[in-house]
Amino acid sequence: MTALKTAVLKPGKDKAVRNKHHWIFSGAVARLPDFEDGDILAVQSSRGEFLGHAYFNRRCSIIGRMLSFDHTAGPEAVRRNLTRAATLRRSFFDDATDAYRLVNAEGDGLPGLIVDRYGDVVVIQIATLGMDRLKPVLIECLDQIIPSRAVYEKSSQPSRREEGLPDFEGPVRGDPPAEVRIRENGIPFLVDVARSQKTGFFLDQREMRKMVRWLSRGKRVLNCFSYTGGFSVYALLGGAGRVVSVDVSEPALDLARKNLALNGFDCPAGDFVQADIFSFIRGVEPHAFDLIILDPPAFAKKKSDVVQACRGYKDLNRLALSLLPAGGLLLTFSCSHFVDEPLFQTVLFQAAAEAGRRVRILQRHHQSFDHPLNIFHPETEYLKGFLLYVD
């Protein structure tokens, strides 16, 4: 076997890697060999100690991403960590749920990679050049550990621009149906993997949807940013008196109607509203709803967006809190990585103060357990939510 070329870190700049953090910033590197961007290199400390293997890309401020912290070669580390990820998910789910996250990037030791299962279709997202170069190994391994009808790629993250990668969306192997039927907690849903947001369905909200089911009995529910109706279906299954689903996307609402019908519910025209949420919620009559769900897309795509994003979150939550009657519930989320949980709670405090409402936190929420957070790499955390009670 040919020895790998080696990247050498600066003195005192190896602590993060020793602590099993996957990222190597360009300022931590003392010396690089001749290599092609995307290549896997051995990583050494300034004293010549072997630290593991990483793929590198000179274009990026995060110049290297660790694939292993031992002598396991890069391709073999991909196989090993994919197998471990699949084994972990099999311990979570039975036949009642066949849609889940199989690989959560650094949370599963595979930086730059997301893999979601939707029944007999696998959807992948690749964010980095190094992982893109490993795609043949990835597909081969996926076919072995989770046989599927098709593998579909949806890689259009902003990080690909810095990596020097074009966006790519399309089948990698096989031909997925236009709509994939899945089961979540025994409940059927249709997923359009090709035209959807993210990879097709918001798998990270599984536990929150289950909670909405038992919160909704007899309540009038407003599901904002309803997408394809996940929360709406669960609310109706829980006995909600009425559920109004609002989204800016008419195709998403069309699929939401199908998902309600699939579960035996009528779809009154007035209960599906295509609208900008901010405009819609300003026109809602006070006390019209008992439970409001706010699950917006990320308002802060980058760090410089945080101030403006917080204004948006505050205004949105202030409006929702103003509408609720005493005893009403607000289930509100942020999936902006750059708006952490303490900051989001501060924003909610400001929203409650401006709305003149007394508010209590009943529960805090994070992404589902098939989206594991690597304790050595906390940057993989993004989703945070609060269940609020309004006096």
Full DSSP string of 115-173: EEEETTEEEEEE-SHHHHHTHHHHHHHHHHHS--SEEEEEE--THHHHHT---EEEEEE
Q: What is the DSSP letter of 379?
A: G
Sheet holding 62-68, edge to edge: 23-25, 62-68, 50-56, 40-44, 6-9, 29-31
**Count of residues making up the chain:** 391
d(CA 103, CA 109): 9
Q: Which among 321, 319, 341, 340 has a CA at the least distance from the CA of 330?
A: 321
- Examine the residue annotation and report whether 335 is marked as an active-site residue of this protein: yes
Q: Are strands 272-274 and 150-155 parallel, antiparallel or unpaired?
A: unpaired
Give the helix/strand (H/E) hosting 56: strand 50-56
Q: Which of 141, 224, 310, 335 is catalytic?
A: 335
**Structure tokens, 194:** 């090709």
d(CA 265, CA 293): 20
Q: Which amino acid is at 144?
A: Q
Alpha helices (H) in 218-367, listed in sequence order: 230-237, 250-262, 277-282, 306-323, 341-355
Using CA atoms in the order 348, 278, 281, 385, what is the torsion angle rounded to 10 degrees?
-30
d(CA 63, CA 300): 23
Tally Cβ neighbours within 10 Å of residue 341: 15
Q: Which among 214, 126, 121, 110 has a CA at the least distance from the CA of 175?
A: 121
d(CA 217, CA 162): 48
Query: Is residue 135 within 8 Å of residue 127, measured between CB atoms?
Result: no
Tell me the catalytic residues. Answer: 335
